[in-house]
Amino acid sequence: MAQHRYFIQTFGCQMNKNDSERIESIFSTMDFVETQKPEEADVILLNSCSVRQKAEDRIYGITRNLAKLKEKNPDLIVCVTGCMPGRDKDGKMGEKLDSVDLFFPTHDMVHLPKWLGELNPKLRQMEDLEKDYLALRPTLKKTYQAFVTLQTGCNHFCTYCVVPFSRGLEKNRPLQQILEEVRELAQNGCVEVTLLGQIVNHYIAPDPQYFSKSNIYNTSDFAKLLWEIHQIKGIERIHWTAPHPIFMTEEVIDALTLPKQINFLHLPVQSGNTQILQKMNRRHDRDFYLETVKKIRQKKPNIALATDIIVGFCGETSAQFEDTVSLYKECDFDISYNAQYSSRSGTLATKIFKDDVSHKEKKRRWWVLQELMEDIVLEKNQQYLNTTVQVLVENEEAGWCTGNSSEMKCVRFKGDASLVGTIVPVSIYKAGMWMLWGRKA
């Protein structure tokens, strides 16, 4: 009997990617095999993102195209999960997706085997899995590298953000469950873990009794967790995203100096103007963010810093935008993920503010930051010339290895496939804007 096939397409953030890895584990339990061709699949699953309207529009467009596949294969089951169904409180999104058979929020993935069996009795019949979907072990494409989710949801309600509506309020995973997952990853050859959370440094352990008595931290559960993971043999690099500035406490900043911590921090700011930050409900002002960056650099002077910025938020004047430009220069970021403000239904910003910055002006401001970032990145990368960086090799092609340094700089050097999944010292001889070239040291 031929095995059934599944196809997954993931949109959005690393957390969505980690959720898709859990869904792959569910399909594996049902004896499905993966296909890279949607036309070969018995089940197609789209893991959706809602952060921008364009992301939702892509789902609508893809599902319209999938209707043609369903005409050829009446047994094909199309599923949409992720942030769109998570925030579809009035059912209007689901109504637009005529060709979709299952439309469910992320946490309901545990019901997927039962639902699929009900839609197609030919599929393996199973009951629900774990009650908590976060307890499901992800299926990893790379054994040496893994995402580990610490929490889902958010309590902060930034006025532009859909996350509390799409993923619910903050829910922290049990400490024991997290540590068991990381130990299992290490035993299977994982050398780098990336810890995920909507506000990752606000992690609060529901079961703090599992912290070691010898833990060097006292007040921050997140810092304590970082210390615990550092004790796990086999894990060589630890990364986490995305923290909130107000939870960058002294202990969390100190944890940046732990030996396995990568030399990189992604710390979203969103705006450099205090009035706009207040309208965004970011809970910090410009001076607080700058002081936080100062403390981080005092503790770890050479750390590479990244951020997120939204341009053209409701009512943002040219002068307020210039505050963002000046903050960018003062922080001297290595990279910034810049976005033009997009009104999202259900958010407080849409309800109480007017999206009054023109698309043309948003685009202009985006380019101002983009060009500033490119100039700074190219200049900063020159400091790596004639230095040696530690690179986790992620792929090899035609005799060239590529991977990220501890500063999350993309590095390329000559090598063979045996180096994939290992950490290699590389001496840098050329520095471009988005790539460093080197030789194995």
Residue 124 has pLDDT above 90, yes or no: no
Q: What does the alpha-carbon distance between residue 343 and residue 313 come to, in Å, rounded to a whole number?
A: 9
> What is the tens place of the pLDDT at every residue in 391-439?
999 999 999 999 999 999 999 999 999 999 999 999 999 999 999 999 9
Mean pLDDT of all residues in 121-150: 84
Last-in-domain residue among 341, 360, 382: 382
Cα 177 to the center of its chain, rounded Å: 20
Residue 127 has pLDDT above 80, yes or no: no
Bigger pLDDT: 92 vs 144:
144
Residues 164 and 272 in one domain: yes
Nearest Cα neighbor of 80 from 55, 58, 102 is 102
Residues 366 and 220 in one domain: yes
What is the predicted pLDDT for the residue at 130?
64
Residues 190 and 273 in one domain: yes
Residues 350 and 415 in one domain: no
Window from 114-128, 293-307, 379-393, 418-432 with minimum mean pLDDT: 114-128
Confidence bin at 92 (pLDDT 50/70/90): confident
Give the mean pLDDT of the chain.
95
Confidence bin at 128 (pLDDT 50/70/90): low
Amino acid letter at 246? I
Domain assignment of residue 54, given as a range: 5-133
Residues 171 and 293 in one domain: yes
How many percent of the chain have pLDDT more than 70?
98
Residues 335 and 416 in one domain: no
Residues 152 and 109 in one domain: no
Residues 345 and 282 in one domain: yes
> What is the tens place of the pLDDT at every residue in 13-27?
999 999 999 999 999
Last-in-domain residue among 117, 133, 149: 133
What is the predicted pLDDT for the residue at 121?
87
Q: ω before 242 within 30° of 0 (cis)?
A: yes
Residue 282 has pLDDT above 80, yes or no: yes
Q: What is the DSSP string of 143-201?
A: TTEEEEE-EE--S---TT--HHHHT-S-EEPPHHHHHHHHHHHHHTT--EEEEE-TTGG
The SS3 of residue 436 is strand
What is the predicted pLDDT for the residue at 51?
84
Q: What is the DSSP string of 266-325?
A: E---B-S-HHHHHHTT-S--HHHHHHHHHHHHHHSTT-EEEEEEEES-TT--HHHHHHHH
Q: What is the DSSP string of 68-119?
A: HHHHH-TT-EEEEEEHHHHH-TTSHHHHT-TT-SEE--GGGGGGHHHHHHHH
Confidence bin at 132 (pLDDT 50/70/90): confident
Confidence bin at 135 (pLDDT 50/70/90): confident
Q: How many residues does the chain have?
A: 441
Residues 370 and 405 in one domain: no
What is the predicted pLDDT for the residue at 125?
65
Confidence bin at 54 (pLDDT 50/70/90): confident
Q: Which tokens is 320 given?
A: 């307020």
Mean pLDDT of all residues in 60-67: 92
Residue 1 has pLDDT above 60, yes or no: no
Residues 74 and 180 in one domain: no
Which burial class, exposed, middle or buried, applies to 94 when counting CB atoms under 10 A from its CB (0-12, 13-18, 19+)?
middle
Mean pLDDT of all residues in 200-210: 98
Number of domains in the chain: 3
The strand pair at 171-172 and 151-152 is best described as: antiparallel
What is the predicted pLDDT for the residue at 2?
65
What is the predicted pLDDT for the residue at 141?
87
The SS3 of residue 52 is coil
Cβ atoms within 10 Å of 144's Cβ, excluding its own: 20
